[in-house]
């Protein structure tokens, strides 16, 4: 069953057009990798999906409803769990307060989030501002899960982190997929990590969907053509 259907969206920053026709579907339980070189429109697509930027042409339907005209908090309430680029935990709050502030009823609660990220359990009473970058990123993912989303959206969730922490975050994403069947839209530069978790790849080029294929069909030739520098 289709959970998210983005059809032919365009988007502008002022007069400057950033998206020229993006198509992107995510089915229930599916993990989709949104790929493309820098500046091709991945983050802009996510901003349109989460209603931080209005799209102009085209449609976005989520869980059977059009998102047109909805403010971001209403779209979030339909089940969009965003982990935005850059880390934004509430620094003065503790880990536990950060998680509880985001909570909505459902499968995910403190116990499940701290089982997924044991470091968050260990640092439950610590202020978020004192966590390492990797721990803050885990907290931001934990916060998104606490909202009990139907679609988790990860925008460069491992960017700038140490290799060991990256590995922990990728392992958590694979567990999310295997154990909960959560639908995930993931933007990342690591083709290797994506190939271990994604079902399908959608590649953007110059603000358009240029290619989509099952992840197992992502060849080196495609990667060189669309992702190489
Ligand atoms: P990256 O991997 O660098 O984040 P991306 O694929 O996410 O790349 P976007 O950030 O969506 O790309 O950028 C798409 C286009 O929109 C680029 O040409 C970029 O310069 C432009 N753009 C992005 N943000 C803004 C903004 N706030 N104002 C004006 N133009 C922007």
Ligand 1 pocket mutation, candidates 11, 20, 40, 153, criterion most atoms within 8 A of CB: 40
Integer Cα distance of 103 and 101 in angstroms: 6
The answer to whether residues 44 and 133 belong to one domain is no
The answer to whether residues 64 and 91 belong to one domain is no
The answer to whether residues 44 and 113 belong to one domain is no
- Here the ipTM equals 0.95
Note the helical H segments in 59-162. 72-77, 95-102, 110-116, 118-122, 133-146
For residue 205 the two structure tokens come to 């080029």
Q: How far is the CA of 70 from the centre of ligand 1 (A)?
A: 22
| Predicted confidence (pLDDT) per residue in 142-163, tens digit | 999 999 999 999 999 999 999 9
| pLDDT of 130 | 94
**Structural domain contains residue 170:** no
| pLDDT of 229 | 65
Integer Cα distance of 19 and 200 in angstroms: 21
Q: Which domain holds residue 204?
A: 1-79+151-162+181-229
The dihedral formed by the CA atoms of 40, 177, 137 and 47, expressed in degrees to the nearest 10: 30
**Structural domain contains residue 172:** no
The answer to whether residues 72 and 155 belong to one domain is yes
**Structural domain contains residue 167:** no
Read off the pLDDT band of 106 (50, 70, 90): very high
| pLDDT of 219 | 86
Q: Say if CB 150 and CB 3 are below 8 A apart.
A: yes
Looking at residue 94, the DSSP 8-state letter turns out to be B
* pLDDT exceeds cutoff 90 at 172: yes
Of 99, 127, 149, which residue constitutes the final position of a domain?
A: 149
The answer to whether residues 3 and 75 belong to one domain is yes
Q: Is the pLDDT higher at 89 or at 192?
A: 192
What is the CATH number for 24? 3.40.50.300
Model pTM score: 0.95
């Amino acid at each position: 069953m289709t959970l998210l259907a983005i059809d032919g969206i365009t988007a502008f920053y002022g007069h400057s057009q950033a998206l020229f026709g993006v198509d992107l579907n995510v089915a229930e339980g599916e993990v989709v990798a949104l790929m493309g070189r820098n500046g091709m429109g991945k983050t802009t697509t996510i901003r349109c999906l989460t209603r931080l930027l209005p799209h102009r042409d085209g449609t976005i339907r989520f869980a059977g409803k059009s998102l047109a005209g909805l403010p971001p908090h209403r779209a979030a309430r339909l089940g969009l769990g965003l982990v935005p680029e850059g880390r934004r935990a509430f620094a003065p709050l503790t880990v536990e307060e950060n998680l509880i502030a985001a909570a909505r009823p459902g499968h995910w609660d403190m116990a499940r989030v701290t089982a997924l990220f044991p470091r968050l359990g260990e640092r439950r009473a610590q202020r978020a501002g004192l966590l390492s970058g990797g721990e803050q990123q885990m907290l931001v993912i934990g916060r998104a899960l606490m909202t009990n989303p139907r679609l988790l959206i990860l925008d460069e969730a491992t960017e700038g982190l140490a290799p060991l922490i990256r590995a922990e975050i990728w392992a958590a994403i694979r567990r999310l997929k295997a154990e909960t069947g959560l639908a995930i839209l993931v933007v990342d530069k690591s083709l290797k990590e994506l190939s271990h978790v994604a079902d399908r790849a959608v590649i953007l080029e110059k603000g358009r969907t240029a290619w989509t294929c099952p992840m197992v069909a992502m060849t080196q030739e495609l990667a060189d053509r669309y992702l190489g520098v």
